[in-house]
Amino acid sequence: MGRNLHKGLREILVHKKGPIVEKWRELIHKSYPPETAQFLKREKDRFSNPIGSSIEDSIWPLFDQLIGEADPSTTKKLLDNLVRVRAVQDFTPASAVQIIFALKQIVRKEVLPAAQKKGLLREYLEFESEIDRFGLLAFDVFMECRERVWEIKRNDLLKRPYLLAGGMCPSYMMKRGIKHLEKLKKEITQH
């Protein structure tokens, strides 16, 4: 990933990093309603603005991963930070991960003309494919998050019946809770 990025193209990307990532941030902010986008932009305290800080903390190093020596686990961690929040918000799966693909629109405006001038169109297209790969990875992360939400929901449901069963003593069942859960999970898988 990114390893074969042409030196000339990388120079342009490094040079344009500031404006590109800033525009990317703005685009992600604007995927929220206007009042929210304003807030995400305005509030700088990371604890008063957890969505904003998750974006800010992810996009800069993610761009570095795109143009530098990408480390798969770091890339995934950064994408996780960005997508985990969106996975429980009012986004469809497509609009949750579209923020990665949308980076192409920005890079096209900022970098493509200069790349073409230097005859680096082919290299540029390869770089766009790299963004696509990040987008697909983001979809993996999105699905992992959604699966996690359902696992948490399922565990909640599995716990409930025996906790609510009138005749049973809950703490007695609790002691056997893990076995009980495992048995129920097994039954679910079998049927």
| Part of the chain binding other proteins (CB under 8 A), chosen from 3-11, 60-68, 131-139, 166-174 | 166-174
Kindly calculate the radius of gyration of the chain based on its CA atoms and give it in whole angstroms.
22
Q: Between 81 and 100, how does the x/- string for binding to other proteins read (CB under 8 A)?
A: ---xx--xxx-x-xx--xx-
Query: Looking at beta carbons only, is 5 or 96 nearer to other proteins?
Result: 96
Angstrom distance (rounded) from CA 11 to CA 139 = 29
Please give the span between the terminal C-alpha atoms of the chain, in angstroms, as a whole number: 42
Q: Which residue from 126, 177, 92 is spatially nearest to 6, judged by alpha carbons?
A: 126
- Contacting residue, 7, 34, 73, 117, with other proteins by CB under 8 A: 34
Size of the site for other proteins (CB under 8 A): 49
Query: Looking at beta carbons only, is 123 or 144 nearer to other proteins?
Result: 144
Question: DSSP for 12-63?
Answer: HHHHHHHHHHHHHHHHHHTTS-HHHHHHHHH---TTT-HHHHHHHHHHHHHH
Q: Residues interacting with other proteins, by CB under 8 A?
A: 27, 30-36, 39-40, 43, 45-51, 53-54, 84-85, 88-90, 92, 94-95, 98-99, 102, 145, 148-149, 152-153, 156-157, 160, 163-164, 166, 169-172, 174-175, 177
